[in-house]
Structure 1
């Protein structure tokens, strides 16, 4: 071992925020004071359940953004055809979810479709708004949190015509798989699995066919690091399940990737493993 090696300085361990520290941060209310490394570690490790609502509202600036009467005005101008589509999709997507107030969720999506006329309403939005509603519970604040995700995180570009951002994200995931998991990539190509088949995981922010708890934990990370949590988590899941994937063929592989992969990984691994860099 060289003298240089013997004096190698290890990076300092980054600790998550304690409940007491979170309470102080929320009380002060200045988001620029965050240590980004500690924020990331905190979201990955898990934030206090009793503070999650206020932490999400703090990160999305929803209380500050909530302009008086805007939400109610948007709700007073519904498009009947859009409202029918939303109601049909919600009853099909959340047929038995007792935790969600479907009327509130419908209102939020109607309001957003009026707020952002270019995007309007698209399938998948219900999952995103639904996860926000599970935690925040208050309709108007959920709406402004959704606006933050769509604009500040540029998630509206996922739903725009020609889906420019979705195509970019799928291309990035494909490149990562091709470079890091060549056997998985070859199997997917051989069996005709196209990346577009994984679109639902992006348009729903990994809330498609998963347990509520996992969808909430993904949203924790999404509010912190954005789209990379989806790309990195899917890549990690494919790596963890590589041996199984290489044995599957045809529709069994399609169904596994689309319906089972995420929920199975959540049941078998700790979320810190799934959120690994």
Structure 2
């Protein structure tokens, strides 16, 4: 009954007081599948962004082959949930996915297309068969809910977020962090894709959609909370791994069996509540983003200096000695 009322009156009427907290708590409990698309459309801002006719206009601009991103998009189309009937042989999802990715690359040519977007768009199509609505959800996700430079070529924000996560693991799970160090394991080798694809490449779909319910309401902080909850829940098993290869192998598989979203969300929002404070995480993100940008500038300056040296004409040593 509550969800019916929310859909009728709209999210904007809820406000930011106790009513919003009630709505947030109910979202954490899971949005019913019947209302999920409508709630996502409104709470994400996709409904406000939508421009009638714009999506069709984007697709009419040029042929796919003329798009600079087409080669990368084409490679990823058939890598997107290949075992799902929607994207498998005879499924109609591939054509819709192609349209959405092409349209976004034209809508935001600065970003174009980046690997991982196919999984985001594919997940949206799993919950919403209308490709234009899925396009606007993707646009709101990349434009409002993730940092604007998340999918740029340098991947600055994702790199910074991995440093934040590593720092949080050291603070919250020091024994696990020490184990990673002892086994010479770089945890970001596994968790980088969690952030870049918003867990689409690792969580079962029923758990993934529950995480996305909260993501659209609470934003980027949910990614850190879920990542830490996954590590917290698997800490004992990871600690049993006696070498780096075993750690990587276990971590690559551990999320695939997480079919209890309620348990994951309880750990993220109750067990770890006192450890994960949004303002502290944001401060860490800003600090690490600054560091990553400075390192990139230094690297570019070093490359420029090396290029200059290589391009300089050779010195005629014989002539110099004669002078």
TM-score with structure 1 setting the length: 0.85
Question: 41, 50, 73: which is aligned to 2:25?
Answer: 41
What residue is the counterpart of 2:134 in the other structure?
A: 142
Picking from 155, 170, 176, the partner of 2:168 is 176
Give the count of matched residue pairs: 257
Instruction: Work out whether residues 26 and 58 of structure 1, in 8 Å CA contact, stay in contact via their aligned partners in 2.
Output: no
Q: In 1, distance between residues paired with 2:162 and 2:42?
A: 30
* Inter-CA distance 209–239: structure 2 relative to 1 (3 Å threshold): closer
**Deviation digits for residues 33-56 of structure 1, max 9, x if unmatched?**
243322321121112121111111
- Tell me: CA distance 1:44–1:235, structure 2 relative to 1, closer, same or farther (3 Å): same
Unaligned runs of 5+ in 1: 1-19
Residues 64-116 of structure 1 deviation map (CA, whole Å, 9 limit, x = unaligned): 32212211121123444522321221212322211341211121111111111
Cα distance in 1 for partners of 2:24, 2:162 equals 24
Question: 2-side partners of 1:268 and 1:137: how far apart?
Answer: 24
Q: Distance in 1 between matches of 2:10 and 2:99?
A: 29
Summarize the Cα distance change of 1:240–1:209 in structure 2 as closer, same or farther, 3 Å threshold.
Answer: closer
Query: Stretches of 4+ moved more than 6 A in 1?
Result: none
1:82 partnered with 2:34: no
- Contact kept, 8 Å, 1:119 with 1:156, in 2: the verdict is no
User: Does residue 211 of structure 2 align to residue 218 of structure 1?
Assistant: yes
Larger radius of gyration: 2
Q: Spell out the pairing of 1:78-157 with structure 2 (5 A cutoff).
A: 78=64, 79-100=66-87, 101-157=93-149
Report what 1:14 is aligned to.
Answer: none
Find 1:251's aligned residue among 237, 245, 251.
245
Q: Quick one: distance in 1 between partners of 2:105 and 2:255? A: 29
1:3 alignment partner in structure 2: none
In structure 1, C-alpha distance between the alignment counterparts of 2:11 and 2:21, rounded to whole Å: 17
Once residues 225 and 120 of structure 1 are traced to their aligned partners in structure 2, the CA distance between those partners, rounded to angstroms, is 26
Deviation of the 1:221 alpha carbon = 1.1
Partner of 1:56: 40
Task: Give the deviation of 1:250 after TM superposition.
Answer: 1.6
In 2, Cα distance between equivalents of 1:228 and 1:96: 31
Kindly indicate whether residue 3 of structure 2 is the aligned counterpart of residue 22 of structure 1: yes
CA distance in 2, matches of 1:244, 1:113: 42
The secondary structure found in structure 1 opposite 2:145 is coil
**Compared CA separation, residues 38 and 99, structure 1 to 2 (3 A):** farther
Pick from 251, 257, 268: which aligns with 1:264?
Answer: 257
Question: Which segments of 5 or more consecutive residues in structure 2 lack a partner in the other structure?
Answer: 88-92, 274-323
Match status 1:188 vs 2:188: no
Partners of 1:75 and 1:146 lie apart in 2 by 16
Following TM superposition, by how much is the alpha carbon of 1:21 offset from its aligned partner in structure 2, in angstroms? Answer: 2.4
Task: Please list the CA deviations of residues 228-261 of structure 1 after superposition, one character each: whole Å capped at 9, or x if unmatched.
Answer: 222111211211211111121222211222x212
- 1:233 equivalent in alignment to 2:226: yes
Q: Please report how far the alpha carbon of residue 123 of structure 1 lies from its aligned counterpart in structure 2 after TM superposition.
A: 0.7
After superposing the two structures, state which structure 1 stretch, 170-179 or 248-257, moved more.
248-257
* 3-state SS in 2 of match to 1:270: helix
The CA deviation string for residues 13-39 of structure 1, in whole angstroms up to 9 with x for no partner, is xxxxxxx22222222225252433223
* 1:246 match: secondary structure: helix
Cα distance between partner residues in 2 of 1:28 and 1:52: 15
